[in-house]
Amino acid sequence: MVATTDMPNESVQLHAYLCSGLADAKRIAILYLLAEGPRNVNTLARMLGISQPTVSRHLKILRERGLVRSQRRKQAVYYTLNDVRVLQALDLLRDVMRDHLLSQAHLLSADSSGSTAG
């Protein structure tokens, strides 16, 4: 593992820029929907229950960060994942989050069972 002090500042900034694209629950949901196959903005909006302009803004951010790509098909633009490893990273983060929550729950449980009313 590389410590951030060993990484050039430029690399850390690019990493943060990419991760900022993942900092919204709707964008993460869009990525998982695109894992199932190409989708256009209207389909994504309907599936997510949000407006088409909101989906378009999210897709713009994901596209700028290289997480999705677009392809015009006749009248519509379809979006696809640029790299499925992003989903693997999201799944790994979900595992980390789950383990953290389980650890917190365990600590709370141990704390409450160790306390006595007095």
List, run by run, the mean pLDDT of 10-residue segments along the chain (118 residues). 69 91 96 97 98 98 97 94 95 93 84 62
DSSP 69-86: EEEEETTEEEEEES-THH
Residue 31 Cα to chain centre, angstroms? 7
Taking phi over 0 as left and psi of -120 to 50 as alpha, with beta for the rest, 49 belongs to: left
Measure the CA–CA gap between 115 and 118, rounded to whole angstroms: 9
Write down the architecture of domain 10-83 according to CATH.
Answer: Orthogonal Bundle (1.10)
pLDDT of residue 25: 96
Cα(26)–Cα(65) distance, integer angstroms: 16
CB 28 within 8 A of CB 90: yes
What letters, b where the CB count within 10 A reaches 16 and e where it falls short, cover 41-66?
beebbeebeeeeeebeebbebbeebe
- pTM score, whole prediction: 0.80
pLDDT on residue 68 = 98
Predicted local distance difference test score (pLDDT) of residue 114: 66
* pLDDT, position 66: 96
